[in-house]
A = this chain, B = another copy of it.
Amino acid sequence: MHPRPRLGELGLGTGKKARLHRILHDHGLCNGTAFFLPYDQGLEHGPRDFFANPGAADPRYIVQLAIEGGFNGIVLQVGLAEKFYWDYAGEVPLVLKLNGKTEIPSDAEALSPVHATVEDAVRLGADAVGYTLYVGTPVQDKDFEQYRKVRADAHRLGMPLIVWAYPRGSAIEAKGGRDSFYAVDYAARTAAELGADVVKVNYPHPEKTEGVPVNYAGQFSVQEAMDSVVRSAGRTLLLVSGGGRAGDEAMLDKARSAMEAGATGLIFGRNVWQRERAESLRFVSALRDILAKHPSE
Other-chain residue from B48, B86, B116, B138 in contact with A11 (beta carbon distance below 8 A): B86
Q: A102 within 8 Å of B by Cβ?
A: yes
Q: Is the CB of A194 within 8 A of B78?
A: yes
Q: A264 within 8 Å of B by Cβ?
A: no
Please indicate the chain B residues that have their CB under 8 angstroms from the CB of A120 in the complex: 152
Q: Which residue of B lies closest to A167 (CB)?
A: B104
Q: Which residue of B lies closest to A228 (CB)?
A: B47
Q: Is the CB of B185 within 8 A of A46?
A: yes
Q: Is the CB of B138 within 8 A of A141?
A: no
Please indicate the chain B residues that have their CB under 8 angstroms from the CB of A111 in the complex: 141
A100: shortest Cβ distance to chain B, in Å?
7
Q: A200 within 8 Å of B by Cβ?
A: no
Q: Is the CB of B116 within 8 A of A148?
A: yes
Q: Is the CB of B171 within 8 A of A79?
A: no
Q: Is the CB of A216 within 8 A of B148?
A: no
Other-chain residue from B48, B85, B136 in contact with A182 (beta carbon distance below 8 A): B48
Q: Which residue of B lies closest to A170 (CB)?
A: B105
Q: Which of A24-32, A231-239, A240-248, A282-290 contacts B (4 or more CB under 8 A)?
A: A231-239
Interface string of A75-114 (1 = CB under 8 A from B): 0011110111110000000000000111011100001011
Complex alpha-carbon distance, A104 and B215, angstroms: 15
